[in-house]
Amino acid sequence: MSEHNATAARPPGRPRSARADEAIIEAALDIIAEGNTVDALSMDAVAARAGVGKATVYRRWSNKEALMMDAIVALKGDIPKPAGESVRADLIALLGRVGRYGGRAGKIMPCLAPEIHRNPELYDRYVAWVEERREVIRDVLRRGIGTGELDPDLDIELAVAALTSPVTMQSQLRWHPHLTKERLAERLVDMVLNGIRPPAR
Amino acid sequence: MSEHNATAARPPGRPRSARADEAIIEAALDIIAEGNTVDALSMDAVAARAGVGKATVYRRWSNKEALMMDAIVALKGDIPKPAGESVRADLIALLGRVGRYGGRAGKIMPCLAPEIHRNPELYDRYVAWVEERREVIRDVLRRGIGTGELDPDLDIELAVAALTSPVTMQSQLRWHPHLTKERLAERLVDMVLNGIRPPAR
């Protein structure tokens, strides 16, 4: 409440500009989510969709690559917090979120892939965004080593890749047409935890 | 040798046209491998790169999407044959090939991703191409269930995804900057085979 009042007391220019920034970023994300590549994205189209003048867009971002970098960060701001009960439950909860940024981000990521591949700065920005979320998974794995739930010699980076890649590819690219999505995170976590050799008798 | 003579005995038009087709497909693949999206690809540029007239390109392919479909198939024609000694060795050999189509295909796949996402026919064609290769992995897994090397209740589709996705993402997108590539296939196969729980004592 008091925060709301504080905002209202600010000079009128500042919040309007923040609202315009947000509208511009949302417009860029919407256009990409419709299946357009960054290549095909124009600052004109972004301005029109956001309902602002082109000059307003350029005042804040000198080119569409710079705009896309901020758009990626805006796509999903929160870092998940595991409950901390068991490694299995935490991993299932964390993986259940991968690729579920709402339908839009799932559509955006494949369209960004070629751009990320070509543009090292965008790649770095995107990886930093992903790494911040991966660090939560690493923490769960490290905790599992400490509690004895996991192999003390675990290759943490490989485990992160083994756990996240199948879910990412399936949610973003429908990569495996014969793989059912139902309880995918849970089934994958159990497979990676237990392995695929015959169970011990 | 005799095949070479047989080719030489054919009417001159046929092989020249086959050579032109091949040059056109190679040109399209080269342009995409340079980091261009299918969006940015023009039939003019393909014709110029292949050293043929635009009419020659259009005689064979009515649009660039049709050309890309044949280009995907041309990218890697052979289906691997596992040695059949152990499931572990076969999986390592098969995964060692994933994403290693030479540097070019690794560059092409990320550029195709948005196109595949937008174009259901291209998606189907690409998935059919991938599925043919996945079937070899499924065969190895089924054999492993038969020999007792693998859990009889194995979810084969999930195992295929768990084994191939991390290698695909790492080779095509350098997805995990902290994950070393050295012996990646072997390390992943052992992780999925044995799981990440502490080893039994």
Total CB pairs under 8 A between chain A and B: 171
Give the Cα separation of A78 and A80 in Å (integer): 6
Alpha carbon of B199: minimum distance to chain A alpha carbons (Å): 7
Say if A169 is an interface residue toward chain B (CB within 8 Å). yes
Residue A21 lies in a domain: yes
Say yes or no: B90 and B53 in one domain.
no
Say yes or no: A130 and A190 in one domain.
yes
Say yes or no: A66 and A90 in one domain.
no
Question: In the predicted model, what is the mean pLDDT of chain A?
Answer: 83
Higher-confidence residue of A90 and A132: namely A90
Say yes or no: B98 and B155 in one domain.
yes
Number of domains, chain B: 2
Q: Last residue of a domain, which of B44, B74, B104?
A: B74
Q: Last residue of a domain, which of B74, B93, B118?
A: B74
Structural domain including B22 reads 2-74
Alpha carbon of B195: minimum distance to chain A alpha carbons (Å): 4
Predicted pLDDT of residue A82:
92
Average pLDDT over residues B116-139: 84
Q: What is the pLDDT of residues A4-27, one digit of tens each?
A: 444 444 555 556 788 899 999 999
Residue A189 lies in a domain: yes
Say yes or no: B60 and B18 in one domain.
yes
Say yes or no: A101 and A153 in one domain.
yes
User: CATH number, domain at A184?
Assistant: 1.10.357.10
Give the Cα separation of A38 and A26 in Å (integer): 14
Nearest of A134, A195, A151 to residue B162 by alpha carbon: A195
- Say yes or no: ipTM exceeds 0.95: no
Predicted pLDDT of residue A57:
94
Alpha carbon of B55: minimum distance to chain A alpha carbons (Å): 27
Instruction: Give the side-chain half-sphere CA count within 13 A for B188.
Output: 33
Say yes or no: A151 and A133 in one domain.
yes
Say yes or no: A111 and A171 in one domain.
yes
Say yes or no: B86 and B63 in one domain.
no
Residue A56 lies in a domain: yes
Interface of B with A in 7-66 (CB under 8 A): 35, 37, 39-40
User: Containing H/E element for A26?
Assistant: helix A13-33
Question: In the predicted model, what is the mean pLDDT of chain B?
Answer: 83
Q: What is the pLDDT of residues A31-56, one digit of tens each?
A: 888 877 777 789 999 999 999 999 99
Total count of residues recorded for chain B: 201
Residue B118 lies in a domain: yes
Q: What is the pLDDT of residues B56-92, one digit of tens each?
A: 999 999 988 888 888 877 776 567 789 998 999 999 9
Please say if the pLDDT value at position B3 is more than 60. no
Task: Provide the pLDDT confidence category of residue B175 given band limits of 50, 70 and 90.
Answer: confident
Which of A173, A175, A198 faces B150 most closely, judged by CB atoms?
A: A198
Q: Is there a contact between B165 and A151 if contact means CB atoms under 8 Å apart?
A: no
Q: Last residue of a domain, which of A74, A103, A120?
A: A74
Residue B162 lies in a domain: yes
Which of B130, B179, B194 faces A197 most closely, judged by CB atoms?
A: B194
Q: What is the pLDDT of residues B20-64, one digit of tens each?
A: 999 999 999 888 888 777 777 899 999 999 999 999 999 999 988
Q: Residue B1: exposed, middle, or buried by beta-carbon count in 10 A (0-12, 13-18, 19+)?
A: exposed
Chain B residues with beta carbon closer than 8 angstroms to that of A35? 114, 117-118
Say yes or no: A66 and A19 in one domain.
yes
Give the Cα separation of B152 and A198 in Å (integer): 7
Q: How far is CA A35 from CA A106, B73, B120, B143, B166, in A?
A: 11, 24, 12, 41, 25
Say if A198 is an interface residue toward chain B (CB within 8 Å). yes
Residue B129 lies in a domain: yes
Say if B120 is an interface residue toward chain A (CB within 8 Å). no
Please say if the pLDDT value at position A193 is more than 80. yes
Q: Is there a contact between A157 and B179 if contact means CB atoms under 8 Å apart?
A: yes
Alpha carbon of B57: minimum distance to chain A alpha carbons (Å): 24
Say yes or no: A17 and A64 in one domain.
yes
Predicted pLDDT of residue B54:
94
Residue B173 lies in a domain: yes
Say yes or no: B92 and B123 in one domain.
yes
In sequence order, the 6+-apart residues with CB closer than 8 A to the CB of B58 are B43
Q: Residue A132: exposed, middle, or buried by beta-carbon count in 10 A (0-12, 13-18, 19+)?
A: exposed
Q: Is there a contact between B165 and A160 if contact means CB atoms under 8 Å apart?
A: no
Nearest of A70, A87, A190 to residue A136 by alpha carbon: A87
Residue B81 lies in a domain: yes
Q: Is there a contact between B113 and A173 if contact means CB atoms under 8 Å apart?
A: yes
